[in-house]
A = this chain, B = another copy of it.
Amino acid sequence: MKNTDRLKSEFLKVREWVESGMDDIIPKVEEYPSIIHQSVRYSIFAGGKRIRPLLVYLSYLLFDKDFDKILSVACAVEMVHTYSLVHDDLPAMDDDDLRRGKPTNHRVFGEAVATLAGDTLLTMVFELLPERLLKKKFKPGTILEFFTLLAGNIGSRGLVGGQVVDIISQGKEISLETLEYIHKNKTSKLFEVCILGAAIFGNASKKEKQILKNFAYNFGMLFQIVDDILDVEGDTELLGKPVGSDTDLDKATYPALMGLDKAKDMAKEYRDNAILDLEKLKKKNTDILTDLTEYIFIRQE
């Protein structure tokens, strides 16, 4: 149980760290026009697990312990994640009423403001990073390398591409290949930004970056398959969203496509591959990332 306690304490520490960072970065609700900053803050502080900032933190730990240097990166990935949730929840997309147990952004602020809140968050990421990272003495070239990774992984060849295929596949029979495309792009690609981003700022070698890229892929697929499984077997209260919401939308999921048992086997395989990647790194401090991978496999929320 010691491992679980340590992981819990890392989760708590990183949550506090990144939430205080975002509170500094995002304009206060008093700032004109107030409604947009209310809307942005509503979704940002709706209480997520902050797993993406945790991934930035734990991956940076492989190279350096001066976490203060990459706080803005940890904030940025959570802000990108939140932007994508706010847009995904819109009536024209998944039409979700609940997110993290609370009414979705457009249910509170209306569709127009919710759309603009997403736009604001995405834009803010590119505004906040240069100044903050330069102050931490990162080289401009390193910052640009990260920008290319980030923007490349969240556009039509990444996050948005995954969402597009997800949307146009609703109610259709799709192949396992298409489902993998959706999960890889909607989930793994942003995890890759977190993990590989930390590696870029940690001056990782080319070989280390390649291994971490593989780890991010396996970790992301594991995360998403477990998410699919929880949508069938999970507990609404723990999840903060109704169980079966994917089925209601007629979304393809691993359990729907291959049955629950085979989906669980597949999750196991991705877990094993991810842990193997971490071993291949031959670095100190991979143990908390290993614990996290195990936790993702057994998580209930």
Residues of A whose CB lies within 8 Å of any CB of B are: 27, 32-33, 35-37, 40, 87, 90, 92-93, 110-113, 115-116, 118-120, 122-127, 130-131, 134, 139-141, 143-145, 147-148, 150-152, 154-157, 160-161, 163-165, 167-168
Contacts and interface: CB of A to CB of B under 8 A. Distances in A.
A150 B125 CA distance: 12
A143 B130 CA distance: 10
A115 B93 contact: yes
Given A90-B115, A160-B116, A151 B126 contact: yes
Contacts of A152: 127
Nearest to A182: B33
Contact of A164 (B33, B157, B167): B33
Contacts of A35: 164, 168
Nearest to A150: B126
A232 to B, nearest CB: 25
Of A27, A148, A156, A167, chain B has the most CB atoms within 10 Å of the CB of A156
A244 to B, nearest CB: 22
Nearest to A154: B123
Nearest to A26: B156
Contacts of A157: 27
Given A93-B112, A144-B140, A144-B143, A124 B156 contact: yes
